[in-house]
Amino acid sequence: RFEACWPALMHDSHGVIIIFNPELPSHLKEIEMWYSCFVQQRPLLDSQCLLVAHHKPGSAGDTENLALAYPLNKLKLIHSNLEEDPEDVRMELMKYFRSLITFLSESREREEMSIIS
């Protein structure tokens, strides 16, 4: 229903975080659509995408055997449960944002060097 707004959301984006509930089979299919629309069509590199499998508090979600279809299985995947490991989630997000900043800095530097040359 909000697909008309997606181009505005994607404008000047440099990364995508897709958060889903791994316990809902429908979410596993939906993230393929999100990946296609927000990563592949943009186009962004896989390193600019982060998947977050969010587990509800008290759920006994399997964090080891989450089978994702290709090309989602190539992406960085973290599991989150904010009651049990909020600091781990924060650290993983910080790593992701640092990698985006590094990528953007290197891209700008290459662009500036190509203009100078």
Contact 49, 86 (CB under 8 A): no
Predicted TM-score of the model (pTM)? 0.84
User: Which residue has tokens 């089979």?
Assistant: 25
How many Cβ atoms from other residues are within 10 Å of residue 27's Cβ? 16
Q: What is the pLDDT of residues 37-93, one digit of tens each?
A: 889 888 899 999 999 999 887 776 555 668 888 899 999 999 998 888 889 999 999
Looking at residue 15, what is its pLDDT?
94
Nearest to 73 by CA among 41, 104, 51, 95: 51
Residue boundaries of the structural domains of the chain: 3-116
pLDDT of residue 66: 80
Interval 3-41: pLDDT, tens: 888 888 888 889 999 999 998 889 888 999 999 988 988
How far apart (Å, rounded) are the C-alpha atoms in residues 91 and 54?
15
Report the SS3 class of residue 18. Answer: strand
